[in-house]
Amino acid sequence: MRDPGVAVVVEDDLDVRNLVSTVLTQSGFEVHAVAEGRSAVDAVQEHNPTLVTLDVGLPDIDGYEVLRRVRNVSDCYVIMLTAHNEEIDTLTALQSGADDYVTKPFRPRELRARVAAMLRRPRGGLIEEKPETTTTAAAPAEAPAPPARPGSVLRHNGLELDRETRTVMLKGEELVLTRSEFDLLHELLRSSGAVRTKGDLVRVVRGQYYRTDTYISEADERAIEVHIGNLRRKLGEDPKSPRWLMTVRGVGYRLVPKRPDHV
């Protein structure tokens, strides 16, 4: 099994902190647990984690401010732990740049499945460090990147998505998307105009934990709306005259038809 790396658990409740730490340790993480927000930012800078679980309510600074500071120094996965039935926590967490959220109380199996689903789909933009080598010869010129494999690139109205490199290009510039935003855009592009319900898209984001027979809550569907809103903002999309993402009222989303002035 591949080593998932380091996790930082940020939780002021000792029982919850111990529970989350145990779940992640059993999943193979090296876990560092802290009880305060400022300590969390220090731990992220020191340990360079793959994953941070972050409680919203902390005794010094709240989880959203911690998330803002973490995002300044790290592209790690962040799962927010939010209060049960407080939808505003969920929406604010996603709008602030969290990758996912789990509401309290939660089952260990759910947290484990959410983490596993994220790790199966690496974030775009992460660069794997390569070991340093020493040589007396001059370094050769950098080889050109290999061409994309057929079928790995999806194009629509000037937008280009490469599922292998997990990159999205628009007008020659790469968009910085979260894992969830990338996966949702990929699903809509590969669907070639077919409508995808919010339930379909919840399963895309949640991975195998959400099977076709799994109950999908209203909060799950609202989370999809937030992800789509964030994606539209990064695309510079006008919801009243969309170029890429069209809302199918009461159902979900689909692609806008291709325009003749774009490939």
pLDDT tens by residue, 12-68:
999 999 999 999 999 999 999 999 999 999 999 999 999 999 998 899 998 999 999
pLDDT-based confidence at 259, cuts 50/70/90?
Answer: confident
- pLDDT at residue 148 above 70? no
Give dist(CA 76, CA 90) in Å, integer: 19
The token pair that represents 96 in the structure block: 């602030």
- Report pLDDT digits (tens) over 105-117: 888 988 998 888 7
Lowest mean pLDDT among 147-161, 164-178, 192-206: 147-161
CATH of the domain spanning 153-255: 1.10.10.10
Burial of 141 by CB count in 10 Å (0-12 exposed, 13-18 middle, 19+ buried)?
exposed
Query: How far out from the chain centre does Cα 97 lie?
Result: 8
- Axis-axis angle for helices 218-235, 179-190 (nearest 10): 90
Note the pLDDT of residue 98. Answer: 86
pLDDT-based confidence at 95, cuts 50/70/90?
Answer: confident
pLDDT-based confidence at 152, cuts 50/70/90?
Answer: confident
End-to-end Cα, the chain, rounded Å: 42
Percent of the chain scored above 90 by pLDDT? 47
Secondary structure letter of residue 249 according to DSSP: T
* Among candidate residues 184, 162, 186, 166, the one with its CA nearest the CA of residue 176: 166
Question: Phi/psi at 10 (nearest 5 deg)?
Answer: -115, 105
Residues of the chain with CATH 3.40.50.2300: 6-120
Give dist(CA 169, CA 157) in Å, integer: 12
Question: Phi/psi at 75 (nearest 5 deg)?
Answer: -105, 25
pTM of the predicted model as reported, rounded to 2 decimal places: 0.63
Beta-carbon contacts of residue 28 (< 8 Å; ≥ 6 apart): 1, 3, 4
Residues of the chain with CATH 1.10.10.10: 153-255
pLDDT-based confidence at 211, cuts 50/70/90?
Answer: low
CATH superfamily of this structure's domain 6-120: Response regulator (3.40.50.2300)
Rg (CA), the chain: 20
Question: Phi/psi at 255 (nearest 5 deg)?
Answer: -75, 145
Secondary structure letter of residue 143 according to DSSP: P
* Among candidate residues 115, 92, 43, 83, the one with its CA nearest the CA of residue 229: 92
